[in-house]
Chain A
Amino acid sequence: MAWQTWGLKRSPWVYHVNVGACNNCDIEVLELLTPRYDVERFGITLVGSPRHADALLVTGVCTRQAEPRLRAVYEQTPKPCVVFCIGVCACTGGIFRHAYHFDRPVDEVIREIDPKAIIAYVPGCPPKPEGMILGAVKALGTL
């Protein structure tokens, strides 16, 4: 298992999943991937398919409609993989915690199908790109 996590730390490919966000966190994720922050230095690239991904950047409250889709995307991501809950809404539900469309936060949805999932939390509304980089470094450091 050691060399697989070594490879994962050197070249984490990210896939962005929006499961019901207001788009603020999505804009910040997109800003993270621009030349200003240059995450390609760490081997991070944005990929177009969950099957190519090592890290899922999940933004948004997981609405009830999006739950089965999020589970399908997680199942289509080859393990080992890390799930990043970007923003307070993905971590705990944020200000929408008692809303009609909110059932469970993202980590409970994923732990239902995979109790051993590796999940990292990046709070903020929205989190700054520097915060996301810190979260990524901490998460990959614990692997």
Chain B
Amino acid sequence: METIGAFFAASLGTLLVGMLSSWVDRKVTARVQYRVGPPLLQPFYDIAKLLGKETLVSERARGRGFLLAPLVGFAAAAVAAAMLWLANVRPAQAFVGDLIVVIYVLTIPALAGIYGALASGSPHAAIGASREMKLLLAYELPLVLSALVPVVQMGRSPDFGPTFSLGAMVQYQHGAGWVLASASGILAAAVALLCLQAKLTLVPFDLPEAETELMGGSALEYSGPPLAVLRLTRALLLAIAPLYFATLFLGGLSDATSGWSWLALAGKYLVVVVLVVLIRNTNPRLRIDQAVKFFWMGLAPVAALALVLAVLGF
């Protein structure tokens, strides 16, 4: 019972943080463009409005899969959020291997988006789905390589050993300092930041939802409440990605009992969100072949170099 309560608290809290972060995104974008931008509660108004619209399902769509896919993606993102909070708030109770589970579970929203797009029966959505598939294959490799760097760095410390545990990473960084404060850490963090940008499908990697090209891409055929669930999933991912980055590279929540470290976590979180938004506002959109080349030929070797440096001790 307590676990279920904690799960709901973590997911709903992350959802709230995610909606506020999407407001931060729109406000920073507006400021960069010399405008004022929407009011604070705009993301909530958007969701409320979408819940009041009717759901239209095209005749050519496979109705059940089309409508279930967003819910599956949302549930997976909520699970990933809960696991990240568990590793940060109670590191001793996090289990070994939860890093692998989080990386796997975070691919499910993208897969659910692909399934929903293909189930909708629209050719625009099919192109969006194929691009999302290629993007997923492209950025997962450097993301996993960059996640191995903190593991290798933990391996050289005597008390921890190379475990795939997010809780152990938080505890290790509490003692030994941030993973970012090392040459391999900086390279891995830069790679991870760009891979997270692709996971959030933000410019320069927002091909699956290219508005001007694909009329809405993979989310094209969704309307009303299912579209609201898709947007809530995006808000959740916008909250999960900086938290994941902070847990792996910036030390996470170093001490769950101290108010200062909660404030520090909020600061780390805001810095990552603003970085993601600034990258989004200052770059054009890449084509799918440019994006795949960038991840496989550009970032993957850098991540491999970071891994080699970590093994050598830098």
CB–CB B227/A52 < 8 A: yes
Chain B 209-238 interface residues, beta-carbon cutoff 8 Å to A? 211-212, 214-217, 219-224, 227
CB–CB B37/A78 < 8 A: no
Q: Contacts A49-B216, A76-B56, A78-B53; is A11 near B45 (CB within 8 Å)?
A: yes
In the complex, identify which listed stretch (A33-41, A102-110, A127-135) lies at the interface while the others stay far away.
A33-41
Q: Of B37, B55, B219, B224, which one neighbours A40 at CB under 8 angstroms?
A: B37
Residues of A within 8 A of B (CB): 3-8, 10-11, 35, 38, 40-41, 43, 46-49, 51-52, 54, 76, 78-80
A7-B49, A78-B223 known; 15 other A-B pairs, CB under 8 Å?
A4-B49, A7-B48, A7-B50, A8-B49, A10-B42, A11-B48, A40-B35, A41-B35, A41-B39, A48-B211, A48-B216, A52-B216, A52-B222, A54-B53, A78-B53
CB–CB A43/B46 < 8 A: yes
Give the chain A neighbours of B55 by CB distance below 8 A.
78
CB–CB B223/A52 < 8 A: yes
Q: Could you list 23 examples of A-B contacts with CB < 8 Å?
A: A3-B48, A4-B53, A5-B52, A7-B48, A7-B49, A8-B52, A10-B45, A11-B49, A35-B33, A35-B34, A38-B30, A40-B26, A41-B35, A41-B37, A47-B211, A48-B217, A51-B216, A51-B221, A51-B223, A52-B216, A78-B53, A78-B56, A78-B224
Cα–Cα, bound, A8→B216 (Å): 20
Give the chain B neighbours of A47 by CB distance below 8 A.
211, 216
Specify the main secondary structure of chain B where it touches its partner.
loop
Give the chain A neighbours of B42 by CB distance below 8 A.
10-11, 43
Mark B33-67 against chain A: 1 for CB-CB distance below 8 A, else 0: 11111110010011011111111100000000000
Q: Contacts A11-B46, A38-B30; is A49 near B35 (CB within 8 Å)?
A: no
Q: Of B33, B53, B220, which one neighbours A48 at CB under 8 angstroms?
A: B220
CB–CB A40/B38 < 8 A: yes
Give the chain B neighbours of A41 by CB distance below 8 A.
35-39
Give the chain B neighbours of A10 by CB distance below 8 A.
42, 45, 48-49
Name the residue on A nearest B49 (C-beta).
Answer: A7
Cα–Cα, bound, A67→B72 (Å): 39
Cα–Cα, bound, A8→B46 (Å): 8
Q: Contacts A7-B48, A11-B45, A49-B215; is A35 near B35 (CB within 8 Å)?
A: yes
Give the chain B neighbours of A48 by CB distance below 8 A.
211-212, 214-217, 220
Q: Of B45, B53, B54, which one neighbours A43 at CB under 8 angstroms?
A: B45
CB–CB A54/B49 < 8 A: yes
- In the assembled complex, the CB of B43 is this many whole angstroms from the nearest CB of chain A, namely 9
CB–CB B30/A40 < 8 A: yes
Give the chain A neighbours of B52 by CB distance below 8 A.
3-5, 7-8, 80
Chain B 102-138 interface residues, beta-carbon cutoff 8 Å to A? none
Give the chain A neighbours of B54 by CB distance below 8 A.
78-79
Cα–Cα, bound, A47→B26 (Å): 15
Name the residue on A nearest B46 (C-beta).
Answer: A11
Give the chain A neighbours of B215 by CB distance below 8 A.
48-49
Give the chain A neighbours of B36 by CB distance below 8 A.
38, 41
Cα–Cα, bound, A81→B33 (Å): 29
Cα–Cα, bound, A40→B30 (Å): 9
Chain B 1-55 interface residues, beta-carbon cutoff 8 Å to A? 26, 30, 33-39, 42, 45-46, 48-55
Q: Of B48, B214, B217, B222, which one neighbours A51 at CB under 8 angstroms?
A: B222
Cα–Cα, bound, A41→B53 (Å): 22
> What are the 5 A-B residue pairs with the smallest beta carbon separation, nearest first?
A4-B52, A7-B49, A49-B216, A10-B45, A48-B216
Cα–Cα, bound, A46→B38 (Å): 14
Of the candidates A40, A51, A78, the one having the most CB atoms from chain B within 10 angstroms of its own CB is A51
- In the assembled complex, the CB of A46 is this many whole angstroms from the nearest CB of chain B, namely 8
Cα–Cα, bound, A38→B35 (Å): 6
- In the assembled complex, the CB of A66 is this many whole angstroms from the nearest CB of chain B, namely 18
Give the chain B neighbours of A38 by CB distance below 8 A.
30, 35-37
Give the chain B neighbours of A4 by CB distance below 8 A.
49, 52-53
Cα–Cα, bound, A96→B130 (Å): 44
Cα–Cα, bound, A4→B47 (Å): 11
Name the residue on A nearest B50 (C-beta).
Answer: A7
Give the chain A neighbours of B46 by CB distance below 8 A.
11, 43
